[in-house]
Chains A and B, each alone.
Chain A
Amino acid sequence: MNEILLPVAIVAGIGLLAGLGLAVASIVMAVPKDEKAEAVLELLPGANCGACGYSGCSGYAKALAHGEAKPGLCSPGGAAVAQAVSEVLGVSGEVELQAAVVRCVGGCAAAPRTVAYEGMQTCAAAALTAGGLSGCRYGCLGFGDCARVCEYGAISLKDGLAAVDPARCKGCSLCVKACPKGLIRLTPLKEQAAVQCSSRDKGAATVKACQTGCIGCGKCVRACPRGAIRVEDFHAAVDPAQCTACGACVSACPRGCITLFTASPR
């Protein structure tokens, strides 16, 4: 009898001990779950794009729950998410929506290719080897690194030139990081004029390289009734905060590189 009972007692005893130990441990060492952060995380889109500046959605949710971050930093979520998050947290949230703009309109037709590039078909590789494929070393390379990283299909390639569809863009800034030429910038989502050229070359050099490049002539500066445009390094730039999208600069530009950025609400 004993030779059955003893092993049973030993195995059962150790099992019971281990079970009780684990139960006690799970109670004593329970990690308090941050319910607020979990609730916020549920509301966030879960794209983990990092546009908010935190390490993914869970990082942002944690910061929100601890009051270290403001609602509305989530570009992909937009106004709806900001609203919902503010309700959970009990604070008011203002959102500034942003969209990406490619600041180059010099496609194959405007800026003819001067380099026969047959290497890896990515912008990053082309930028390393040839610097640029046309005479302009600032321009879009047209291999679509930005379009590949875009999770919303907002970037299209046409004629060796990338263009962002503001209606689809969520302002997550993945394309901004992907562009080796630094051509893509985020801009507040409102109607405004945008200089779609990044060339810092002198006017004469730009004229040679590209039909639509900004030469820094300053006609737009004089045309602008609000003084929203400045020319630096042979290159005009519009301050989105002051621009009223009147269109005076667009018609004044002899190069056709200023376009009106039409924004439709998401």
Chain B
Amino acid sequence: MMVNLVSIFLAAILTENYVLNQFLGICPFLGVSKKVDTALGMSVAVTFVMVLATAVTWPLYTYLLVPNGLEYLETILFILVIAALVQFVETVLKKYIPALYNALGVYLPLITTNCAVLGVTMLVIERGQSDPSFGYMESLVNAFGAGIGFLVAMLLFAGIRERLERCDIPKSLRGLPITLVSASLVAVSFLGFQGLVDGLLG
């Protein structure tokens, strides 16, 4: 059981990284990765929302949509729930944890439409359908791992971009082109983790 959870967690970070292997959440990956500290703030907020969203959408899907045969409502309902959840979290943070709100505040509204969050909640359910042993607990661990994977990708890339600033880049490649080239190289490097988790724990 425990080994299984650990392998799900590690796989979500390394081999199934949502940004670098599944190409979800590319907009914040390119948009908010100019500085390491903002990248960190964004990733922590995303991780938080991913776990929370999965915690709510999984029971909603399993106990409300499936019994009524309404699986096709998944997308629209999940978007609705995630948006409301993010708003709610923002209000709560503002009131009770102002320090955290000041740190994450700017990023929370951005996450409402983050495809990585929607992707995690939907892919987790897809996986549960093909593999009955993949239940609620496994889904939560997977969501947390996906968030940490997002954090790893963001931090790596922000570090690279901070160094890029000081490099002498050919004029035609400056700005977005070199960013996209380096993003693809980081993604390719993550292919090197293929089979690592199975080899470690399997």
Contacts and interface: CB of A to CB of B under 8 A. Distances in A.
A21 B88 contact: yes
B124 to A, nearest CB: 19
B81 A14 contact: yes
B95 A29 contact: yes
Contacts of B65: 10
Contact of B92 (A6, A11, A15, A29): A29
Contact of A11 (B77, B87, B95): B77
B172 interface: no
B interface residue count range (under 10 / 10 to 19 / 20 to 34 / 35 or more): 10 to 19
A7 interface: yes
A264 interface: no
Secondary structure dominating the interface of B: helix
Contacts of A25: 88, 91-92
Chain A CB within 10 Å, residue with most, of B60, B65, B70, B91? B91
A18 B92 CA distance: 14
Contacts, number: 42
B130 interface: no
Nearest to B70: A7
B73 A29 contact: no
Contacts of A22: 84, 87-88, 91
Interface residues of A, number: 15
B77 A14 contact: yes
B167 interface: no
A18 B80 CA distance: 8
3 residue pairs, one from A and one from B, having the closest CB atoms: A18-B84, A29-B95, A25-B91
25 contacts: A6-B68, A7-B70, A7-B73, A10-B64, A10-B73, A11-B76, A11-B77, A11-B80, A14-B60, A14-B81, A15-B80, A18-B80, A18-B81, A21-B88, A22-B84, A22-B91, A25-B92, A26-B91, A29-B91, A29-B92, A29-B94, A29-B96, A30-B95, A31-B95, A31-B98
Interface of A: 6-7, 10-11, 14-15, 18-19, 21-22, 25-26, 29-31
